[in-house]
Structure formats: C-alpha cells, structure tokens
A and B are shown apart, each in its own frame.
Chain A
Amino acid sequence: MTTTALPKLGPEEASPPAGEVPSWERRRADSAATALSHAVLALWALVVIVPFLWALLASVKDSREIFGSPWRLPTEWHWSNFSDAWERGRVGEYLLNSVIVVTGGVLLTMLFGSMVAYVLARYEFRFNRLIYYVFAAGMMFPVFLALVPLFFVVQGLGMLSTYHGLILVYVAYSLPFTVFFMHAFFRTLPTEIAEAAVVDGCSHTGVFFRVMLPMAKPGLLSIGIFNVLGQWNQFVLPQFLSPEKPVLAQGIASLLAQQRYEGDWGTLFAALTIAMVPVVIVYLVFYRQIQAGLTAGTMK
C-alpha cells in the first residue's frame, strides 16, 4: 500500500477551475447530498457508540434498573459493582495475568521477530528463501487446524496454565507476521551506515542492536502496536491452553456465563468497563498510529 502524503492545496488552488463555477442548482444539490451523507454517517456512529455507552451506564446500576430503565441515570450509583467485579469477579487477577503475558509476549516477539527478519533480509546463506517462505506461510494457516496437537505439545512440556507457556505460544503465533513485516522494513533501510559501523570494528550483533534497531523504530512501533492489540485481545489460545490462569478476555466470557446464572448484571458490566476503558483511552490517544499500524498490516 502506498501512503505517500500528498501536499495540501492552498486556498487559490482549491477553488474551482475557471469555467467550472457551479450553478446555483448544483450547489443546492451539493449541500443536500452533504446533509444526507452526514445523516447516514451519524446513524452508523450511533449504532457503534450506543452499545458502549449503554454498557458504561449499566456498570453503575443494579440489575433491575439495567433492564427496567436502560436509558435513565441510576437513582442510586452502585460503585460497589466495581469492587465486586474486581474481587469477587476476579477481574483484578485476570487483568494482572493479561498484563504479564502480553508484556512478556510482545517484548519477546519484537526481539526474536526482528532478529530473524534482519538476518533474512540482510544476509545471504543457504535456505534463506526457504526459511522466509516457511514463516510467511504461517500467516495463512487456520489456527484451529493446530489447536488439538498444540494442546498436547504444551501439556507435554508441562506448560498448561503457566505464564511462560502462554508467552512462548503467543510469540510463536505472532512471529509470521512480525517477521514478514520487519523483513520488508529492514530491506528499505540504507546499507551504508551498517557498512561504516563494520569498518569501525563493530560486530554483527553490535550492528544490529546499536545501528539497525534504532533505525527501524518506525517499523517497530507499527508492528508493536499490532502485536500489543492482537495479544491483548487473544482469546482462542488462552481458552484452551490456560484454563486455570485465565486472561482478561477469557475472564469476561466466563463472567457472562456466571452472571446469567446469578443474575448479578451490574458486576458483569463493571467488569466489562474495567476491560474496555483502558483500551479505549489508549486508542483515543494513539488512534492515528493504531489505525495506520493495523491497516498497514493487511495490505503488505
């Protein structure tokens, strides 16, 4: 995908070309079309945002009010829903599990992924292309094909429901795309600086860590965002590989089942809010980078 930034036109250039002055009818039709466009877009914006607002509002109500008067502010603010979710609903524990696994998973993915990508992009050796294609092919495999044997591999290593087990599996499944993306990125970097560093007596490892990685920062940022979100939202792998040490996404799913039974919906929505709000804040702050990072991923 090309993302060449185009220069913004100045005021004179943006005016209609001579001889193309829109007639009155045309302008009226334009503003009608603009209004209609806004109406359609605003409708979809509501469709997207209303469920979130409703969930947010429900997190401070009791079960009766959640369903009885869904659009009114609560008569009494049930902040205790949050402490209930945190302790009794074990959201605090799930959140900690997610933070530990994603921190470890993303750091190792970035390190191992860039190491592999760098060597494949910059060094010639036998089987270079083969190894590259084997990694790239991993992007197409449906994970469900591997799921049953994967469970037994992880079980055989005694790593079911452990942090390190989940971290290593996350890394393995994030590698194909990370290698693919960083490979393309390392190819675009100039070679002169690395060569100069070698002449100055820098080792291969030194060139990588002190010269190439710092130069690859923009690429690392995009793929880093991609991996943080991907691993944070991972559900299938922990669902089967870490039943005893659930991450947040799993915890939320099991809370739904539990609250269906107990009917304590306020706690469920408080848990949802705890799961959503940090992600939404990060999104609002970094949304340009996130949108660019996630979509760049698809088009390579």
Chain B
Amino acid sequence: MKYGRYPFVVGFLAPGLILYVLFVLSPFAQAFHYSLTDWTGITPEFEYVGLQNFEQLLNDSIFLRALRNNAMVLVFVPAVTVFLALLFAFLLNVGGGATSAGVKGIRGSGFYKLVFFMPQVLAIPVIAVIWSVIFEPTSRGLVNSALGQVGIGPLGFLSDPALALWCVMWVLVWGSVGFYLVLFNAAISSVPREIFEAAVIDGAGRAATFRKVTLPLLWDTVQTSWVYLAILALDIYALVAVMTAGPGGPDNATQVMSLQIAQNGFNFGRAGYASAMGVVLFFLTMVIAVIMLRISRRDRIEF
C-alpha cells in the first residue's frame, strides 16, 4: 500500500458518490418506503397501510387505463421503429449495387442519415409543440388542410379519443427511427466486407444477402434496441404532457403511468399512492428488460 492511497481514493469517490446517494439512491429507496404509507406529501405525518395502495391500484380504472396505454405504446412503437429503421438500413446498404452488397451503400446515404437523425438532437417539447400544431383539430391544422383538399375531415387528431394515442405514438416513432437507423448502419459497417463478398460470389441477391447474412449479424444490436425502446415506451411522459389536453386526455385516452405518478404525487396530494405506482413501473421495467433479453437471445455470432 503506497502512502496516501486511501485518502486519494476516498477523496475522488466522495463528490460523485455523495450526489448519487443524495439525489438518486435515497429517493428511490424512499419511494419503496412511501409506497407502504398513506402519505399525502402535504403534511409531514403518515401512517403505514401495508399493501393497501397496491390493492387500490388494481381497482383504479384510470391507472389501469394508463397501464393499457403504456402496453399499446410498448407493442407498437418498438415494432414500427425497428421495422422502419431496418428497412431504411437495408435500402441504404443494398441500394448501391449487388457487386459490393452491404458495403458500398446507396449514393447520398450520408445525407439521409444526417436528416433522419435530426429529431434526436432536439428537445421533446420542441417536437411536441410542432406536431401538436400540425395536428390542430380544426380544418386549419396542417394535416387537416391537406386532407381537406381531397375532401376528408377535418379529423380531431388529438381531440378524438380513438386517434389521440396513435398521434402520440407516431411522433415517438418519427423521432426515434433515425437514431436506430444510424445504430444499425454502424453495426453493418463493422461487419467485415469479406462476408458480404462471399455471399455475392455464392450468387446471393441483395435481398437474400440482407436477410440471410446481414440480419443475423445485426441481431445483437436489434435486441438491445428493443429493450431500449421498451423502456422508452414505459417512461413516455414529455410528449403526452405537452401534446394532449388535460394532459392525458381526451377522456384519459392518452393517460400513461408516468403522468399518473406526477398527477397523484404533485396535484392530488397522494404521494404514497404515487410511490406505489412508481414501484409498479419499476418492476415492470425490470421484468420487460429480462424477458426481452431472454426471448431474443440467440447464438451470438463473433467476427
């Protein structure tokens, strides 16, 4: 042990560790604790109520609605995003010609990547505001004025309970596709080109090369993306909070768990109850991450 090592180690760990314990670990631990109480968040005193909050959650129709909406987002957003990102990655990589399939790429692929990725660098409220004006329910909204030209509408995109959640999901997909495209594309470029050349020499066409060679090599990346998108779907908040009426409306059609936690915790004086929702969200996140990683686990291909 060299002189002065321990003070150094402790000194270097201290600032980061103190902040992390104070603002991250302790609130998480407290949330588990408060989930067993009837704490209002307004006055300091509270009673322990056991699992009563969780029982109540099972009968809370708004929370169940939120859960169902989160499930919808969880199913559709990752599926559509991964599908589009893979499609675009396929087009970028095989559109350029069969002789160098998967490597040469289409002309202008840099431009496409530049544009597709752009929503990713902007704050979600910025995107949400633009889209909520585009989706204006009256005929003056951008989409509605276009639909009006062909004699449809006007549709109440964000004011119709049947459409509102789909609009929110669309914006989430719209903003995410570029990120995953760039991710998949980077994974494709890291595959040695001999593999693609071998496929071409063996007479594989572009589509076959993509399906039989590129996709299996990409599988690891796709599976990680799926977990990321699932967590994003469970955590969805800013889009709903900015775009929808209420927020969460119309008629709870866009309620999601994060919004319920915020409303119960800060507006309705039910901090204990909101913490119980947070605990449910936590376990769902964990379960989904584990399940996704198990289901999609295939033999990893090393190269």
Q: Of A37, A125, A173, A204, which contacts B23 at CB under 8 A?
A: A173
Is the beta-carbon distance between B122 and A279 smaller than 8 angstroms? yes
Is the beta-carbon distance between B8 and A146 smaller than 8 angstroms? no
Within 8 A of B (CB), among A38-74: 38, 40-41, 44-45, 47-49, 51-52, 54-55, 67-68, 70
A200 to B299, CA, bound (A): 49
Chain B residues, CB < 8 A from A291: 113, 117, 182
Interface: B174 (CB within 8 A): yes
Proximity string of chain A (270-300) to chain B, C-beta cutoff 8 Å, 1 when within and 0 when not: 0010011001101110010011101100110
Proximity string of chain A (231-267) to chain B, C-beta cutoff 8 Å, 1 when within and 0 when not: 0110110011000000011101101100000000100
Q: With A22-B99, A118-B12 as known contacts, state yes or no: A138 contacts B186, CB within 8 Å.
A: no
Proximity string of chain B (88-102) to chain A, C-beta cutoff 8 Å, 1 when within and 0 when not: 100110111111100
Is the beta-carbon distance between B24 and A14 smaller than 8 angstroms? no
Is the beta-carbon distance between A51 and B130 smaller than 8 angstroms? yes
Within 8 A of A (CB), among B218-233: 221, 224-225, 228, 231
Q: With A149-B27, A171-B19, A253-B128 as known contacts, state yes or no: A294 contacts B179, CB within 8 Å.
A: yes
Q: With A233-B122, A272-B129 as known contacts, state yes or no: A116 contacts B16, CB within 8 Å.
A: yes
A54 to B99, CA, bound (A): 41
Is the beta-carbon distance between A1 and B186 smaller than 8 angstroms? yes
Is the beta-carbon distance between B197 and A17 smaller than 8 angstroms? yes
A232 to B120, CA, bound (A): 12
Interface: B116 (CB within 8 A): yes
Closest to A42 in B: B112
Is the beta-carbon distance between A294 and B120 smaller than 8 angstroms? yes
Interface: B266 (CB within 8 A): yes
Interface: A86 (CB within 8 A): no
Is the beta-carbon distance between B19 and A275 smaller than 8 angstroms? no
Nearest-Cβ distance from residue B104 to partner chain A, whole angstroms: 7
Is the beta-carbon distance between A37 and B95 smaller than 8 angstroms? yes
Chain B residues, CB < 8 A from A22: 98-99
A41, A168, A298: most-surrounded residue (chain B CB, <10 A): A41
A16 to B196, CA, bound (A): 12
A208 to B274, CA, bound (A): 44
The segment from B50-58, B73-81, B159-167, B279-287 found at the interface with A is B279-287
A10 to B25, CA, bound (A): 55
Proximity string of chain A (212-242) to chain B, C-beta cutoff 8 Å, 1 when within and 0 when not: 0000000000000000010011011001100
Q: With A48-B174, A147-B265, A153-B27 as known contacts, state yes or no: A179 contacts B16, CB within 8 Å.
A: yes
Is the beta-carbon distance between A26 and B98 smaller than 8 angstroms? yes
Is the beta-carbon distance between A295 and B183 smaller than 8 angstroms? yes
Q: Of B31, B87, B142, B285, which contacts A148 at CB under 8 A?
A: B31
Within 8 A of B (CB), among A118-143: 118-120, 123, 125, 131, 134-135, 138, 140-143
Interface: B187 (CB within 8 A): yes
Is the beta-carbon distance between A48 and B145 smaller than 8 angstroms? no
Chain B residues, CB < 8 A from A276: 122, 126
A235 to B123, CA, bound (A): 8
Interface: B69 (CB within 8 A): no
A30 to B225, CA, bound (A): 31
Chain B residues, CB < 8 A from A205: 8
Q: Which 6 A-B pairs have the closest CB atoms?
A: A37-B95, A145-B278, A172-B23, A67-B140, A149-B30, A146-B27
